Amino acid sequence: MIVGVMQVELAIDWAQSLKDKRSVVKSLRDTLHRHHMVSVAEIADQGIWNRATLGIAIVGSSGSAIGATLDRVIERIRSASDCEVSDTSRELLHGWGASFANTMNNEQGDDAELEDELRARAIEALGRDTA
């Protein structure tokens, strides 16, 4: 399993309020999910009205396919007329080691635990890019 994570910082210079910013973020989030089947969340700068930081994640079995999808995602964001990309970073995470395998093989099959593990590892990866 391969997880692709990307962090995108956006400038929304025209925004005059958090409501303006949230409309841009919501529109991007919905469009990216609908067209590219990626997960998108605002991960920082929630209280700043003219800047947004998005975390984007995708899971698959082919690094090249994930990379191509992330390329298309960033191009779609760059083509948006209501914001400007100020910075990006991304990483492909290959394999998950013993802790992930143990979670996958858990007899209880707890999907919430698996989702928490994936979320924690994606957040960890995004944090390494910003440090």
This prediction has a pTM of 0.71
Domains and CATH numbers, the chain: 2-130 (3.30.70.1120)
- Residue partners of 63: CB distance under 8 A and separation at least 6: 2, 4, 92, 94
Distance, CA of 15 to CA of 23 (rounded, Å):
10
Helix (H) / strand (E) containing 30: helix 18-36
Instruction: Output the pLDDT for position 123.
Output: 72
Helix (H) / strand (E) containing 54: strand 51-60
- List pLDDT tens digits, range 15-65: 999 999 999 999 999 999 999 999 999 999 888 999 999 999 999 988 899
